[in-house]
Structure 1
Amino acid sequence: MVNAGNLPCVELLDYEDYIRALHRRRMSAGVLFHHADGRVLLVETTYKTEWEIPGGAVEAEESPWATAAREVHEELGWSRRLGGLLVINHVPASGAMPEGMAFIFDGGQIDDSDVAPIQSNDSEIRSAGLYTLHDAAQLVKTALHRTISVGMAALRGDGRPVLCDAGHPAAPTEET
């Protein structure tokens, strides 16, 4: 084992043990659809009290952007080209749910005529509608409301994704 100076020696795991020891995180992908007046599309789920943006869990061997498109099709029946990445959000562990990473993509601008005919065939979706950010605060979890607000600000910003921790924009890191 090579030791440079007075640095402590570190025993390395063999490759298989290293792979088994890697931390696993859940991942999800959501889509932020918005109206010109600032309202956002929310879906009412059948399995919990809080509403959500369209989206869901990333499956094995699936990219977050493929998940976003798949979930929009499953939940809303829409096959649309999605816009760019708006938010990457670190979601802390909560109860039985492990920590995760959520990717929020721009679904583009929609209007009431897009939402009115939604008849979801997904048993997880009860209804969908456009809501102001104020009204959304009463329907979604606080952290998701912060994330939606950050996503809407990103749409008006410089086009770069915003990094967040539990919906709070992350402090910029110092460059070295």
Structure 2
Amino acid sequence: MTDTPPQQPTVETVGDGVARISWGDEVTRQGLREAVQRVAPEVEAALDVHVRVEAWVGPDDVAGQRIATWSGLRREGVMRGAVAEGDRVVFARLAHDPPSTEPEGFRALLNSFLPRKRAISQLLVRDRDDRVLLCQLTYKPDWDLPGGVVEVGESPQLAVSREVSEELGLELPAGRLLLTDWLPPWSGWDDALCLVFDGGRHDPSLLDGMVTQPREIRHAEFCTPEQVAERCAEFTARRVHAALDPSGPGYTESGR
């Protein structure tokens, strides 16, 4: 009696020049190496006649995601409600993508699935009396330091000056990094790194030329330590306090 050979991956044309590859549990149970040896050649063969080959894998199917990755398919994201059973993680390779056996293709493959931290840059601006510039925001009840999210491929140090220019109409170059504060997941947000840069000391008249962006900023003013504690969320107040401390740790988690 001979063993039944494992199920082969199947390739289906789902659009103009687009193929979707799938495989069953029998392939997955062979182990990563053996499964990749079955899936990868099918991907290559499909690219001979298609411009795109993709795989849809369940978000909880860790083994399936690894098979898709090491078969040369780049992770593109999660398609919510893709099928009746729920979401699917989409992996794909285009005919002109460098193969993962080449350095450029391998780097692109890794870049597609490695974790990416959101970065937020903020500016610690003080007046001559050590009051701190805070912004009253339109989208949450508490006040915060000026700044915002760093865009893809943007320098965090340049990003904070851009945000201050866009939101407050002030041209303030960012100085040295004062604090890196890790923010855990909170209220629908993923975790992030908040980088607080030194915005220098200025005369309060600096705000005379301020032009706030009404969509995000209600008001901004220099605040005393007591006002910081009263107006900011607790973790923000801790972050401000840590950034102000010249002998502080330089790194905190939610301000601690």
TM-score (norm 2): 0.56
Is residue 239 of structure 2 the alignment partner of residue 151 of structure 1?
no
Q: For 1:33, what is the secondary structure of its paired residue?
A: strand
Displacement of 1:161 in angstroms is: 7.3
Cα separation, partners in 2 of 1:108 and 1:161, compared to 1, 3 Å: farther
Whole-Å separation in 1 of the counterparts to 2:184 and 2:173 = 30
Higher relative contact order (CA 8 A, sep 6+): 1
Superposition pairs of residues 3-152 of structure 1, within 5 angstroms: 14=70, 15=106, 18-152=110-244
Larger radius of gyration: 2
Matches within 5 A, 1:157-172: 157=247, 162-168=250-256
Q: Which has the higher strand share?
A: 2
Shift of 1:21: 3.1
Q: Residues 59-91 of structure 1, C-alpha deviation per residue, up to 9 Å, x if partnerless?
A: 111111111010110111112222111001111
Q: Which shifted more, 120-129 or 63-72?
A: 120-129
- In the alignment, the residues of structure 1 paired with residue 112 and residue 151 of structure 2 have an alpha-carbon distance, to the nearest angstrom, of 20
What's the secondary structure of 1:89's corresponding residue? strand
8 Å contact from structure 1 (residues 86, 161) kept in 2: no
2:228–2:237 Cα contact (<8 Å) kept: yes
Distance in 2 between residues matched to 1:25 and 1:121, nearest whole Å: 27
Using structure 1 for the length normalisation, give the TM-score: 0.79
Q: Secondary structure at the match of 2:143?
A: coil
Native 8 Å contact 2:124 2:132 kept in 1: yes
